[in-house]
Amino acid sequence: MWKKTLIIFLLHSACGKLSDFELPLDNGRKSHTITQIILDHFINISETINVVYTFSDANISTFEGIDTIMMELEQSATLTLEHYTKIHPNMTKQSHNVVLCESIESFNSFLSTINPNYFNFQGYYLIIMPSRLCEYMSDMFATLWSLHIVNVNLLPLTSNDDDFIYTYYPFTSLDCGSTLPVQLDNYRDGKWMEKNELFPNKMKDLFNCTLSVVTFDIPPFIKIDKEENDSPNGIEVILMSVLALKMNFNIKWIYSEELWGEIYGNGDWGTSLQVKVETKT
């Protein structure tokens, strides 16, 4: 339990007490932090950076720093700048996204309309927000987790010299499906203090969490013996067990009467073969 207490304490000292920093960005320093994060962590992986803003067109000028950021970045990358409600129908699927959020409403509204044809949910997300949204960080991560977006960092803007960046780890030794905000690093005088990886692989070790796997009888891939209440057999079961061993998770088999399901555009699965995370007790 000490771990959790420590994390909450850090969060409070770093985020809760800071004086609020409202948009617009007041000087070049903040935009430099953002540019630096993007240059250090996005550019080498991808040539295109997708900047999405979630407030009205009329208010884009209030995020003055965005001009500086776009100008600095333009020298190293291809940029797209879109309002989330006006995504160009020809936009290709984006993996490296910077999202500018003004309010919790605009954040929720963006995520409720996010379309997997244009956004790779397994991609990387940097969400820039005013520090008054700090108190919602856990809710924000919960919404992101419901969409299985895990490579995501929140960057609250403050008027302080340090910038703190937060993420969440859905699988930990304490919890399965945790959305607790964790401070990843802080940026001061052009340097990261902890030098932590900003987009660590969070799915390498699932800490023996239990995933419910819904399936049905389809030999030789999956053979269910109704007599025995054991796990099923078959090729896919073996593959799943190898995966479970490698990624350190438990499988709870659930048998479905329905056969194949459908994966909907919003990333939800129709019927069979669903995977769900059970919480630790």
Of the candidate residues 3, 9, 28, 56, the single one contacting ligand NAG (CB under 6 A): 56
- Measured CA to CA, the distance from residue 32 to residue 39 in angstroms comes to 10
- Which range of residues in 56-64, 119-127, 157-165, 174-182 is near ligand NAG by CB under 6 A? 56-64
Rounded to whole angstroms, the Cα distance separating 30 from 24 reads 10
Instruction: Please report whether residue 61 would count as binding ligand NAG according to CB under 6 A.
Output: no
Q: Which is nearer to ligand NAG, 83 or 202 (CB)?
A: 83
Exactly one of 5, 44, 75, 229 binds ligand NAG (CB under 6 A); that residue is 44
Residue 250 found at the interface with ligand NAG (CB under 6 A): yes
Per CB under 6 A, 59 contacts ligand NAG: yes
What b/e readout covers 185-204, taking b as 16+ CB neighbours within 10 angstroms?
bbbeeeebeeeeebbeebee
Residue nearest ligand NAG, Cβ-based? 56
Please tell me whether residue 199 binds ligand NAG under the rule CB under 6 A.
no
Smallest distance, Å, CB 90 to ligand NAG?
4
Amino acid letter, 213: V
Region binding ligand NAG by CB under 6 A among candidate stretches 37-45, 119-127, 172-180, 269-277: 37-45
208 binds ligand NAG (CB under 6 A): yes
Would you count residue 166 as binding ligand NAG (CB under 6 A)? no
**Is residue 234 left, alpha or beta, with left meaning phi > 0 and alpha meaning psi from -120 to 50?**
left
Q: Is the dihedral of CA 246, 144, 48, 42 positive or negative?
A: negative
Closest approach, Cβ 270 to ligand NAG, in A, equals 28
| CA-angle at 54, arms to 124 and 202, nearest 5° | 20
229 binds ligand NAG (CB under 6 A): no
* CB 106 to ligand NAG: min, Å: 7
239-248 contacts: CB < 8 A, separation 24 or more? 240/213, 247/203, 247/204, 247/205, 247/206, 248/205, 248/206, 248/207, 248/208
User: Is residue 55 a contact point for ligand NAG (CB under 6 A)?
Assistant: yes
281 binds ligand NAG (CB under 6 A): no
Number of Cα atoms under 13 Å in the Cβ half of residue 140: 28
- By CB under 6 A, which span of 29-37, 40-48, 72-80, 147-155 interacts with ligand NAG? 40-48
CB of 112 to ligand NAG, least distance (A): 16
- Asked if residue 117 binds ligand NAG (CB under 6 A), the reply is no
Q: Which two tokens stand for residue 107?
A: 């954040």
Phi/psi at 49 (5° precision): -110, 130
Q: Per CB under 6 A, does 90 bind ligand NAG? A: yes
Phi, psi of 241 (to 5 degrees): -65, -35
Q: For residues 64 and 240, what is the distance between their CA atoms, to the nearest angstrom?
A: 50
> Are 131 and 15 a contacting pair, CB within 8 Å?
yes
Q: What is the binding site for ligand NAG (CB under 6 A)?
A: 40-41, 44, 55-56, 59, 62, 90, 208, 210, 250
